[in-house]
Structure 1
Amino acid sequence: MSRFLVPVAVLLELIALCISSPHLSALAGVLFVLYFLFALWRLQAYSRYLFLISLLAIGYLGVVGQLDSGDLMRAASNAAFYAAFLGSLGMMQCLVRRLEVLQRIHDVLLGGRPALLYPKYAVVSCGIASVLSFGVMNLLCGTLADTLGQRGITGVSRLRWLRSVLISTLRGFALVPLVAPTSVAVAIITREVPTLSWSGLLPYGIGSAILLVLVGWVLEYKRFRLVSSERKPLETWPAGSGRLLPLVLIIFTAMGVLVQFTALKVSVAAMLTVPVVTLLYMLWHDRSATEVAREAADNMLGMSNEMSIFAGSAGLGVALVGVIPADALAGMASGELGVLVLAVCGSLMMPLLSAVGIIPITVLSVQAGLMPQLVTEGVDPLPVAVALVIGFSLAMMLSPFGPAVMLLSRFGQVSRWVVAFGWNGVFVLLSLPLLLVMLWGVFAMAPAMG
């Protein structure tokens, strides 16, 4: 029976978002917690320990009276939101098994001019991740492993393929917080500061994304040329190519309609639209409601580790914010220079803590929870929010315990330390000065725009 707790919890959270019911959302959070407790020893070690630490911290602070009933309900509600965020968007993975074009994605992407392969992979990875979330890692990493096995590519050539293709996939995935309305980072920040919107962050996110793609292009250009010489030309487009684009257009059109004619934010519109469109397509394709329901439940359960990380991080963030004094940032946010320093420190804090095992969503949950203090002090939250999404993007590439790096490590059979630091260390060090200069420009423009 416990396997039904997750899909029921996701459904309750989606209903709660539609009717703005914090109590129903908290109930969804309780169901998620119950499932993670039932499945505790099936979770990966990091997911299990982070969830237990979060649960114990929240329980202790509640018992000693540092968190009241409202705080506890908010912790449960936030845990439900972020677990359901991943569970609902991850439903797009069900389309992979029904569209051959996604199964042969590497044959498609490796076509064309060798010089353009890196930006192509990064941009396409970002685009797929904007609707598939962590599913892009399963899709591109899993299909690459199959492709290399089918073609007998081994030794140095295999490592070169893995480094070029998988690292561009990870870096493309890391662009999602900067440009996609479905990003969990955008969802966290706009949930804490309702005056901020994805459209307001987008111009600066696009600028940051362009800088990151250009740096990666310079670093990976020669390696991709060698990979290109071993590719297999695709004579015709795979089956399902004609259906993929309309499906994506339907999803984004429906999201736009919801945002335009309701009070829902883009991230919530995505949480509602993606599973509905996917389930309708599955019903049309399979003609079996029972099989569709079983596959949807199995798909969500397959993301239990990532969902427990998201839920635990969100709950822990609420607990930590609850014990931080309400005026903690008052002295630090005085003057434009003070706010700039605070934003840069917040941006750098995520990749630095990620390098020692504290995943970025945990840090961002706390940082975003403190942003209302800045708004109360009269600080423009936009430049600070830009700094945080930049830091979140960099941290995704440097976190050896983060879900994305762990998935890439598992599929590529490469140490996660090699992925995080060996493959991405130089890239981040070269990108950071450029991003800090751009961030300074955002602060310089903010007063004029205000």
Structure 2
Amino acid sequence: MRVPSHAETNGDLIRPSLLLYRAAGYAMPLCMIATLLHLITDLSFASWLARPALVVYLLMQARHLTGMARVVLVATVAGSAATIMSHPEPVPLLLQALDRFCFFATFMASLSLLRLAALRSRLIREAGHALIHQKPSWRYPAISMGTMSFGIILNIGALSLFGTMIQKGNTLRSAGGDEALRAARERRMILAMLRGFALTPLTSPLGIAVVVLLSSMPQLTWPMLLPLALPIAAVMMLTGWWLDWFQGPPLAPGSKRVRPSLRPLARFSLIVVAITATALLLSPIGNMGLPVAVLIACPACAFVWLASQRTRLAGGTGTARAGMLVWRRSAQIFAANRSEIVILGGSAFVGALITPWVDIELLNAWLVSTGLQGLGLAVAAMFLTLACGQFGLNPIISVTLILSLLPDPQALGLAPEVLAVALMSAWTLSMMSSPFTTILLMVSNFCGRSPYFVAWRWNGLYYLLCIPLIIAVLAIGQALLG
């Protein structure tokens, strides 16, 4: 006779909790699908599906959040309570704020699917290996540009990939037993990785920075930002390359390195271009903004990529196997970036609650009286974002609040493109300089140094050189566009 298992004898107690756990795993996909349906069709019932699904997801993930994400979640709860007690019509305002939370949560969930497809691709590992093993004079631009490109698809997963490859490839054996050479090479590769990834706010249409800016400044489009953003990215890239050459050890006489083929990188670049082109084409065809087009393009392209990988197993299109993979691993896929979802969505939520309380005309008059107009306002916003980052405030929060509180920049003699790119530049610099960012914490863990050491001892000179160059490009842009 079969003896009932412990789980079976306690089935009445276990099954409800197990069902609740499984249901919660599909809360974010439901929020994502309902939000996209609402954005595309404007059906009101879809938003009433997305909102409770998001709340269930937040309740299930709350105890697993990082410190900053918990602070943001507490701020959303406190802000909601304050709105209910003090605002004359709190319900419409709270629903509007919750819809913004759903929008940004859907954006991060879309990137999760894209990252899943990328991390399961052998092409990613081959392309990364080719970049890491370039000869010393070309290693900086290879790693920097490669990390930036990988960051468009993998987001923060690009750092994990490159950091692991740097650790495996940079050994005493590969350095001929010379510890000083190994340490110098580690420093150069770590900085190339950090600086390259930090450029994604300036170069990626799929990045968080672009979505935050375009959703807060609907008069702008991504192509309108490129004439300023790309020169700043190029100046920062060239500055870093020059510093790498200037501070690097001299190349040993007769040392040679066989460079691996960059063909895997070319194939990966085609995938990046295809995803970006899909979002850019969907925007005018569907008569929608780029942020909404990104929300559609990322999961669609991720599913096609996953399906193409699964065709190698047993033929066919791979669609059914890709769908089953996403269905079975839904809880893990959408829980992986829970802290980013809360920080990004919660910041937008709090910003939406604060905005109605700000007297825009009074703030406008105060800014005029202080002389903060034109380029000075853009530079002040950039330095404010940088200062907030040094005290642990994520750029997502500071940029969202700045854009929520600032009046129309054109009324203050400032071109909106200049303000947007100034905040994108501040976002980039904060990623490299704030010891509290996840990016810098990951990088410091790879090299065994403190975040402060990496941010200011290793990267301080680069940081200080870039600031005046960025301001110079912004000044040229203001002169041409203002």
For Structure 1 versus Structure 2, the TM-score category normalised by the shorter chain is 0.7 to 0.9
* CA separation of 1:6 and 1:406: change in aligned 2, threshold 3 A: farther
Match of 2:304 among 280, 284, 297: 280
1:445 aligns with 2:470: no
Report the alpha carbon displacement of residue 117 of structure 1 after superposing the two structures with TM. 2.0
Q: Deviations over 1:385-425 (max 9, x none)?
A: 22222222212222222232233334444333333333333
2:208 to 153, 178, 184: 184
Deviation string, structure 1 residues 354-403 (Cα, Å, up to 9, x no partner) = 00111111010011223454356785422222222222221222222223
> Contact (CA 8 Å) 1:183, 1:267: kept in 2 or not?
no
Task: Check if 1:339 corresponds to 2:374.
Answer: yes
1:102 aligns with 2:124: yes
Q: 1:383 to 1:222 in 2, by over 3 A?
A: closer
Q: Is the Cα contact below 8 Å between 1:86 and 1:133 reproduced in 2? A: no
CA–CA distance in structure 1, aligned partners of residues 214 and 135 of structure 2: 39
2:350 alignment partner in structure 1: 316
Residue of structure 2 aligned with 1:389, choices 424, 429, 438: 424
Matched, 1:430 2:465: yes
Q: Does 1:210 align with 2:242?
A: no
Of residues 418-427 and 310-319 in structure 1, the stretch that sits farther from structure 2 once superposed is: 418-427
Q: Indicate the residue corresponding to 1:265 in structure 2.
A: 289
Cα deviation for residue 21 of structure 1 reads 5.3
**Conserved? CA contact 1:355–1:399, under 8 Å:** yes
In the TM superposition, what whole-angstrom CA distance separates every residue of 1:148-207 from its partner, at most 9, and x where no partner exists?
589788965665444322322222222122222112222122212211111111010011
8 A contact 2:109–2:334 mirrored in 1: yes
Residue 68 (1) aligns with residue 83 (2): no
Q: How does 1:365-444 map to 2 (within 5 A)?
A: 365-371=400-406, 373-374=408-409, 380-444=415-479
Counterpart pick for 1:117 among 139, 144, 153: 139
User: In 2, are the aligned partners of 1:351 and 1:392 still within 8 Å (CA)?
Assistant: yes
Partner of 2:223: helix, strand, or coil? helix
- The answer as to 2:159 corresponding to 1:137 is yes
Aligned length in residues: 446
Query: Which of 296, 299, 318 pairs up with 2:333?
Result: 299
Kept after mapping to 2: 8 A contact 1:332/1:342: no
CA separation of 1:68 and 1:438: change in aligned 2, threshold 3 A: same
What are the Cα deviations for residues 308-328 of structure 1, in whole angstroms up to 9, with x where unaligned?
Answer: 221222222223333322224
Of residues 148, 152, 174 in structure 2, which corresponds to 1:126? 148
Q: What corresponds to 2:11 in structure 1? A: none
1:12 maps to 2:46: no
2:229·2:421 contact (CA, 8 Å) conserved in 1?
Answer: yes
| TM-score, scaled to structure 1 | 0.87
Q: What do the CA deviations read for 1:282-334 (whole angstroms, capped 9, x no partner)?
A: 23433423223334542221112222221222222223333322224312554
- Tell me how far apart the structure 2 counterparts of residues 343 and 328 of structure 1 sit (CA, whole Å): 19
Which moves more between the two structures, 96-105 or 252-261? Answer: 96-105
TM-score of the superposition, structure 2-length normalised? 0.81
SS in 2 for 1:331: helix
Aligned-pair distance for 1:101?
Answer: 3.3
Q: Which moved more, 1:304-313 or 1:335-344?
A: 335-344
Residue 4 of structure 1: CA displacement? 2.0
Give, in whole Å, the separation in 1 of the partners of 2:435 and 2:411. 36
Matched residue type, 1:102: I
Q: Tell me, which stretches of 5 or more residues in structure 1 are unaligned?
A: none
Report the CA distance shift for 1:421/1:242 in structure 2 as closer, same or farther (over 3 A).
closer
C-alpha distance in 2, partners of 1:402/1:202? 26
Q: Is the 8 A contact 2:214 2:221 kept in 1?
A: yes
Residues 337 and 322 of structure 1: is their aligned pair in 2 closer, same or farther, counting only changes over 3 Å? closer
Paired with 1:151 and 1:76, the residues of 2 have a C-alpha distance of 55
What's 2:360 paired with? 326
Output the CA distance in 1 between the equivalents of 2:463 and 2:195. 10
Equivalence for 1:172? 196
The CA distance in 1 between the partners of 2:133 and 2:211, in whole Å, is 35
SS class of match (2:346): helix
Which of 38, 41, 56 matches 2:63? 41
1:58 CA drift (Å): 3.1
Judge conservation of contact 1:359–1:402 (CA < 8 Å) in 2: yes
1:356 maps to 2:391 = yes
Structural RMSD (CA): 3.2
For structure 1, which segment, 22-31 or 178-187, has the greater mean C-alpha deviation from structure 2 after superposition? 22-31
Instruction: Measure how far apart 1:347 and its partner are.
Output: 0.8
Shift of 1:38: 2.1
Give the secondary-structure state (helix, strand or coil) at the position aligned to 1:181.
coil
Identity %: 23
Pick the aligned partner of 1:85 from 98, 103, 107.
107
Task: Look up the equivalent residue of 1:76 and give its one-letter code.
Answer: L
In 1, the alpha carbon distance for the partners of 2:183 and 2:340 equals 27
Farther off after superposition, 210-219 or 23-32:
23-32
Deviates more, 1:349-358 or 1:89-98: 89-98
Cα deviation for residue 88 of structure 1 reads: 0.8
> Which of 58, 81, 91 pairs up with 2:80?
58
How many angstroms apart in 1 are the aligned matches of 2:107 and 2:255?
39
Structure 2: 5+ residue runs without aligned partners?
1-21, 311-317
Q: Which moved more, 1:347-356 or 1:12-21?
A: 12-21
Quick one: which amino acid aligns to residue 317 of structure 1? G
Question: Residues 115 and 153 of structure 2 are in contact (CA less than 8 Å); yes or no, is this contact kept in structure 1?
Answer: no
The Cα of 1:264 is off from its aligned counterpart by: 2.1
Distance in 1 separating the partners of 2:72 and 2:94: 18
Which amino acid is 1:340 matched to?
L
